[in-house]
A = this chain, B = another copy of it.
């Protein structure tokens, strides 16, 4: 089983180019089954590929009474494997309150920030985290239910910046079977069973349901959909970026797009060009389907000869961080002051009832 897992991890690393000779890797270790498995197996794969695991990194989220024991467990594992260990503590609850996000979202943000900081300190070129094929299937279902479209379907990327995910072709059941067979210890996180968290419902109810009634293959099939969706998304983003270079112009702090050229694009590209244009002034705020639709509808509207007084009134919409108006055959994206922007943000969030789903978690690592 060990050899099988090693072979699978190696294949993922080679196919996706996750590790190259000379890479220095840190591993994000929560103490859960997935990251414990990664910690046990990645050093061997890394060595074979000429790379080196240089440290284990653990962030104590201080959310549960056992958080201190989790940290001690991770430190002990590092000692046992003779690997340097780094840890830090953050008050995720306070951070979530401050940034008005879910515990899951806040936890993810501070966790990745911590891992990046450790990577910089250690001169690491890669941050390995322990998402599995199951995390991939869960993410795909979560995003789909959120209406994220084919791009959301792309799920978790095997590689994003410094972050790599060598377990992305391994199932959680395989991880658990291996840990049991080798009698390896790991920490149990009871919040993973909290069904008020959408991801946990998907994990413990929806996917088992689909496996029972649709077929055991559903996790692998969802993950396969993610592979294709990722390829499609990469290509479409590439074409849209190239198109934006010639079509979307920055003029005196505003963004200008020729309406006729925009509407002449294939809808798949036009929609992405508009989203990219909106993101320029959105300042990181969420730009969604409804915002893009509103801009396209403004573009499709026939332009009336402007009557004095009423000029332009009907042809202006508020969107995250900006106001978009139609004028002289052009769409003009104008950044607005922070106050107005906040109002736009409240209005702009298209489906508050699904807010809990905006926190697309990336697993337990």
Hey, which chain B residues are within 8 Å of A312, CB to CB? Answer: none
Hey, which chain B residues are within 8 Å of A148, CB to CB? Answer: 225
Q: Does A49 contact B (CB under 8 A)?
A: no
Hey, which chain B residues are within 8 Å of A268, CB to CB? Answer: 228, 231-232, 234-236
Chain B residue, CB-CB nearest to A232: B268
Number of copies: 2
Q: For chain A residues 136-174, which have a beta carbon within 8 Å of chain B?
A: 140, 144-153
A147 touches B231 (CB 8 A): no
B210 touches A209 (CB 8 A): no
Complex Cα–Cα for A205 and B351 (A) = 24
Q: How far is the CB of A122 from chain B (nearest CB, A)?
A: 33
A147 touches B351 (CB 8 A): no
B150 touches A232 (CB 8 A): yes
Q: Does A224 contact B (CB under 8 A)?
A: yes
Q: How many residues on the A side are at the interface (Cβ–Cβ under 8 A)?
A: 46
Q: For chain A residues 173-231, which have a beta carbon within 8 Å of chain B?
A: 198, 201, 205-206, 209-210, 213-218, 220-222, 224-225, 228-229, 231
A217 touches B351 (CB 8 A): yes
Complex Cα–Cα for A257 and B9 (A) = 32
B234 touches A150 (CB 8 A): no
| Contact partner, A229, options B149, B214, B234, B235, Cβ 8 Å | B149
| Contact partner, A147, options B205, B206, B224, Cβ 8 Å | B224
Q: How far is the CB of A72 from chain B (nearest CB, A)?
A: 36
Chain B residue, CB-CB nearest to A212: B201
Hey, which chain B residues are within 8 Å of A218, CB to CB? Answer: 145
B266 touches A225 (CB 8 A): no
Q: Does A47 contact B (CB under 8 A)?
A: no
Known: A150-B150, A224-B147. A266 touches B238 (CB 8 A): yes
Hey, which chain B residues are within 8 Å of A206, CB to CB? Answer: 206, 209-210
Hey, which chain B residues are within 8 Å of A216, CB to CB? Answer: 353
Q: How far is the CB of A195 from chain B (nearest CB, A)?
A: 8
5 shortest interchain CB distances as A-B pairs: A147-B221, A149-B228, A235-B268, A150-B150, A231-B267
Besides A147-B220, A147-B224, 16 other A-B contacts (C-beta < 8 A) = A144-B144, A145-B222, A147-B221, A149-B225, A150-B153, A150-B225, A150-B229, A153-B153, A201-B213, A217-B354, A228-B271, A231-B266, A231-B267, A234-B267, A234-B268, A235-B269
